[in-house]
Structure 1
Amino acid sequence: MICIPIRRKTYKSALETFIMAQKKADVIEVWFDEIKDLTDENLSKLFKTKKVPVLYKYQDGKNFERIIQFKPEFIDFDLNSSKTLINKARKISPKSKIIVSNHDFDKTPETKDLLKVLKQMHQKGADICKIATYANKISDSIRMLSLLSQQNSSTIMICMGKEGRITRTTGHLFGNYLMYASLTPRDRTAEGQLTVDQLTEILNDY
């Protein structure tokens, strides 16, 4: 499944992008906590236009109570989030799938350390584990794909950077639950991220 992230500062811009992205995405990730003029009315309007599943990327939590009431299909919590918070989300929106994520913007840790991170994610109650690291060399990406292929539960493993692009274009072959792609080049939320048109063109060749 292709997931398009939406990162906007105003509700108007977020809604416009949300509507456009639904034409090309299987899932829409919305960075709600960065929308400065988000209101209950705005949230209601946005969710009423929803045609594909929504992924709420939890950040500072200032909108958590309001957004969770709309029962987004996915909620992404950082690994540092408390288990109490994650359990609260489950109680209010039991059908939402919980993604527990961890990012390393400098390197790809050793495989044994990545395994420890996956274990911690499961302990937090993750339905889906997501690890994103920075690939300094192509072998980092190969290790990530190898580890991904060994997982028996829903997992997302991505490498950022030029050397990580292979994980974005072939990850689905190794079991990636979601593949992230931006709507346009200026909408990229991570280094090495392809646009949805670029990714779709590549996937059509498989």
Structure 2
Amino acid sequence: MKVRVCVPVRAKTVSELVPLIERAEASGADIVEVRLDYLDRLDRIYEIPEYASVPLIATNRQYEQGGFRSQDEEVRLRTLIEAAEAGFHYVDVELTAKGVESIVSRLRDAGAKPIVSYHDFTRTLRMAEMEDIVEREIAVGAEVCKLVTTAKETPDSVICLLLNLMFSDETKIVCFAMGERGKLSRVLAPIFGAHFTYASLQEGLETAPGQISISEMKKLYSELRIET
């Protein structure tokens, strides 16, 4: 099997962002996530896809779901539509966003594949609760269902891995746990059916707790004889 790795990048300006995208591609990233919530200005996002040769994810993360800054919600969501129109391959929108079903429809109309996401920064939910969240993401029209929890103990990673296994035949799913004890789930998620996993560009450029650098991730896969 071949696993796919997404590398998130963040910067204050588009000029600073472009070389990070190029570095991510050179490091072997299959997908690059652009964290729009880190940009000081959002009026140049239409330029970003021109500089990428791999699919891009546009993420303008809601502050309550781990975003860098608080934003006017109407403006934040409009930026996601603009990113889809600009040519981003995927656009990430939170399951908790107001009018999420309508937003997903508009993203599809603009040519993007919607990733509907849910993050819990305090714990890993019970399996039944996680199943319900994924079912809700499917119901609103997600192309990719993303569910990220926080691992307090190693078995939390196992729950996330099993959720990938459970839903991978039904939908494209990405599920893993954040934190030191969640690293296992980040590495093994694709082996259990996740559509892709996330790795940082390098140590110090993480966008979430527990992210492993792509070089370390590739090394682990090589040792496990897993194709990337």
Could you give the per-residue CA deviations for residues 47-88 of structure 1, whole angstroms, max 9, x where no partner exists? Answer: 222111111113323533432222211111111122111111
Contact 2:59 2:80 in 1 (8 A): no
What is the TM-score of this pair, normalised by structure 2? 0.84
Could you give the per-residue CA deviations for residues 169-201 of structure 1, whole angstroms, max 9, x where no partner exists? Answer: 111110111110011111101111100100000
Between the aligned partners of 1:176 and 1:169, the Cα distance in structure 2 is 10
Counterpart residue number, 1:141: 157
The Cα of 1:91 is off from its aligned counterpart by 1.2
- 5+ residue gaps, structure 1: none
Contact 1:2 1:181 in 2 (8 A): yes
- 1:28 aligns with one of 10, 32, 36: 32
Counterpart residue number, 2:140: 124
SS of the residue corresponding to residue 76 of structure 1 reads strand
Counterpart residue number, 2:16: 13
Between the aligned partners of 1:8 and 1:179, the Cα distance in structure 2 is 21
Between the aligned partners of 2:22 and 2:116, the Cα distance in structure 1 is 26
Shift of the 147–62 alpha-carbon distance from structure 1 to 2, 3 Å rule, reads closer
Of the structure 1 ranges 186-195 and 59-68, higher mean CA displacement relative to structure 2 is found in 59-68
Counterpart residue number, 1:187: 205
- Tell me the percent identity: 24
Of the structure 1 ranges 110-119 and 140-149, higher mean CA displacement relative to structure 2 is found in 140-149
Q: Does 1:107 align with 2:109?
A: no
Contact 2:186 2:197 in 1 (8 A): yes
Between the aligned partners of 1:196 and 1:129, the Cα distance in structure 2 is 22
Between the aligned partners of 1:116 and 1:13, the Cα distance in structure 2 is 39
Between the aligned partners of 2:182 and 2:80, the Cα distance in structure 1 is 32
Of the structure 1 ranges 24-33 and 65-74, higher mean CA displacement relative to structure 2 is found in 65-74
Instruction: Identify which of structures 1 and 2 has the higher relative contact order when contacts are C-alpha pairs closer than 8 Å and 6+ apart.
Output: 2
Counterpart residue number, 1:197: 215
- 5+ residue gaps, structure 2: 62-75
The Cα of 1:31 is off from its aligned counterpart by 1.2
Between the aligned partners of 2:51 and 2:122, the Cα distance in structure 1 is 38
Between the aligned partners of 2:13 and 2:174, the Cα distance in structure 1 is 29
Contact 1:33 1:62 in 2 (8 A): no
Contact 1:58 1:78 in 2 (8 A): no
- 2:189 aligns with one of 171, 189, 196: 171
